[in-house]
Chains A and B, each alone.
Chain A
Amino acid sequence: MTDLAVSLDTSVTQVSEEITSKKKYLNPYWSNKDNRHLIVTIEQPNGQNSLASIMDPDGTNPDMKAVLEQYTEEDIDANTQEGLDRRNENIKRQMERRESQQARAKQEALFNCKLEAFEVEGIKNSKNTELKRMIRKSKSIMEVQAYATILLMKELENDATD
Chain B
Amino acid sequence: MTQQTKGFVIVASVKKGFYRYAKVLAESVRDFYPEANITFFTHEEWVEPEDYTLFDNIVTEGIPRHIRAKLWALNKTPYDITCYLDADMMCEHEDIQNVWDELPDDMDIVFTKNRPYNAKLTKLAEGEEMTCHCGFFIYRKNEATMDLMGAWYTEYLAQWEPDYDMLHYPKDARKWDTFTMWRLLTYGDKGVKWGYIKEPDARWNFVNGYHFEELQGTDIVLYHHTIPQDKLD
Contact = CB atoms under 8 A, between A and B. Distances in A.
Contact of A133 (B94, B118, B211, B212): B94
Contacts of B31: 129, 132-133, 136
B170 interface: no
Given A100-B117, A115-B24, A118-B24, A137 B92 contact: yes
A111 B209 contact: no
A125 to B, nearest CB: 11
B209 A137 contact: no
Nearest to A96: B117
B123 interface: no
A62 B228 CA distance: 61
Q: What range describes how many residues of B lie at the interface?
A: 20 to 34
A104 interface: yes
A104 B209 contact: yes
Interface of B, helix, strand, loop or mixed by DSSP: mixed
Contacts of A129: 31, 34
Which residue, A96, A104, A129, has most C-beta atoms of chain B within 10 A? A104
Interface of A, helix, strand, loop or mixed by DSSP: helix
B117 A111 contact: no
Interface string B82-95: 00000000111110
Interface string A111-122: 100110010000
B86 to A, nearest CB: 14
B45 to A, nearest CB: 23
Nearest to A99: B211
A104 B207 CA distance: 9
Contacts of A137: 92-93, 219
Given A136-B28, A137-B219, A104 B208 contact: yes
Contacts of B209: 100, 103-104, 107
B91 A108 contact: no
A103 to B, nearest CB: 7
17 contacts: A96-B117, A100-B117, A100-B209, A100-B211, A104-B209, A107-B208, A107-B209, A107-B225, A108-B225, A118-B27, A129-B31, A129-B34, A133-B31, A133-B32, A133-B94, A137-B92, A137-B93
Given A96-B117, A136-B28, A136-B92, 4 more contacts: A100-B209, A104-B208, A136-B31, A137-B92
Interface of A: 96, 100, 103-104, 107-108, 111, 114-115, 118, 129, 132-133, 136-137
User: 5 tightest CB-CB pairs across the interface, nearest first?
Assistant: A104-B209, A136-B92, A111-B225, A107-B208, A132-B31
